Structure 1
Amino acid sequence: MTFRNFKMVDYVVYGRGAFNQLNEILAPQRKDDAPMIFFVDHYFENDAAFLARIPLLGKDKVVYIDVTHEPKTTYVDALRDDLKDEFGTISGIIGIGGGSVMDMTKAVSLMMTNPGSSADYQGWDLVKFPGVYKAGIPTISGTGAEVSRTTVLTGPVRKLGMNSDFTPFDQILLDPELCKTVPVNQRFYTAMDCFIHCVESLTGTYLNAFSKAYGEKAQDMCEEIFLHRSDWDEESDEKLMMASYAGGMSIAYSQVGVAHAVSYGLSYVLGTKHGIGNCIVFDKLEEFYPEGVAKFKEMVKLHNIEIPQGITKGLTDADFEKMIDVSLGLVPLWENALGKNWQEQMSRERLRKLYEQF
């Protein structure tokens, strides 16, 4: 038997107010005349007080990342080209924002040193060279993108991550204080990404003690926050940030499952954002995850969250076929969910009927 020898984040700092240490953390990584580039979620573009806390030195630059849509390979390539044209070389990229910013940061870091288009590297272990230094600072919790070895991108023919040992961050900074302004609905949708990670990991065929240890703790914290209380406080932000970290770790040695495999198809065709897309799908997956879906529905009711319905009505046969193609291309996810014989269980017809429910 061969065991996976997977790469983890090199350094982690956690704590309320840890963002204030960013200048000190970056100092050893700076190279002469090579700036640090700060990818900042466009949500903060008019937040002068927050922007003033970013430790800009010399030629350092803030680039606002538009997260209106899921990250695209064309966007990654364009940012890479802009940075190379303007600076030639850079010291590193610091991502400040949600999962999309985390993914863009990891992807552009890799493309600064790897030739071609980011679409060439959508898959498993295709990246050939380490990227430039990269650090992730999440301002919303749930995706686990801060610890994963993938950066999920929508390319010309598929939605698929750049999965490699070169993808994880060199440094992550986890400061729960940065999450205090997240809108209620967005916080829920993104937190449920973490909860769904855990359900899929803990019920999957890839499950092992490593994944189980992280997954159970992350799921317990999600349920403590969203199932057993309806209010929100600073401690909730702290617990959710650690649940996101642990949820991401739970799939590092395992995989996600049906909800993610199906939501990728929705995202590719309809542009559905990842968190809400997972919620739309998971809401209809009682046959695969009965206990998890029952708890999810309780959380939705308790926190008065609206899950969009009827989003696939009016789609063409070609749209459904493309969603099915994208979804069925995610072999490890289906294998984790349904086992080695997953293709015998998940036919195109069955998947079409599932998509028609959303």
Structure 2
Amino acid sequence: MKNRFSLFSSSCVFLSMVLLLVSLSCSSSGGGDDGGDDGGGDVLSEYNFNMRTGMGDTDAPSALQIDASLDDEDVRATFSGEVTGVFNLDENSITLNEGCWIRVTTDGLWPGELGILNIYLNSPITSVDGDEPDQGILVVGIGNGPLYSITITAASGGVSLQYNDGTPVTYDDWDDFEDLFGSTAPEWQQQASFAYSMMEFILFHVEFFLETLTAIEENAFGTTTSGTLPAGVLPVGFTNPGKMILTDNNGGEPLPGEAFTLEFQHFWDDDDLDDIDQLYDGTVRFVNFWRITNDDILTGIGFAPYNGSGGVFFDDLANYEIEETPPGSYSLDEVFTTISGGYTILFSEP
């Protein structure tokens, strides 16, 4: 069975690396504040995290947004809400808190209010070492009111779906559940599958953020060159080899209040462990670096507004999927997405 919560394992590893690197580096307060202590900074056994998008926060990025073209129709998903959770470094686990919610407003998928999905966690979901959670309940309210609700219950080995108070429908394989969107399944089951993929998209961004934060703390600035794809596989206008360029906008050691730029130029992210790879083109800006220590203990790290704009900003980042059929045969998925807007994200002491 494919592990649908594999993001958690990578995120915990990345966070552990980040906190170790920070504890070894010269730390100071974040966001331009001068209230922290200088010094190495010991780490805590766990940290809370908070990720916000589309909440109208002053100087924060606009709402995270995905645009795509499906069956010659332009579609869009716009996010708003707040996700909170806990990273436990000793247990190598991540918990999404009960009460987390994300509202996804779609255009071009379902008419009117049927395209509004309010996604709530009705119980905490915990994953240890990337394993599927033993239990967790996700409720999706469709439309304002809502018009109806869908309950997604995660259990060991599968997932069950329930329309209002009806009889649950069970899927033993996560892949079968995720493949419901765009299939001939009943509309409410397609909405459930889509809602889950949107929450997975949010979790991916936690991982993406931690990867970049690790590179920043390692001072891994400069250019990374990707491998070479067959010319016939590349989208029109793309060239080989691609590049990924991480820049410290101020130069020198990363300091609180600084900004960083991650630019993708036709960059192929070749994953040896997966037949599906990503191809990126566009720019992501990390603005207003927070790094806070109190009494030589690291108490906060991330990107958020402070005396000016702050957060993670996506400047029309295009994302294509490349499928590999071993040995060495590649194909391009003609459907690609463009990510814009962004979010704020901070890790802090409990």
Structure 1 or 2, whichever has the larger Rg, is 2
User: Which has more strand, going by share of residues?
Assistant: 2
- RCO comparison, higher one (Cα < 8 Å, 6+): 2
Question: Under a length normalisation based on structure 1, what TM-score does the superposition of the two structures give?
Answer: 0.28
User: Which has more helix, going by share of residues?
Assistant: 1
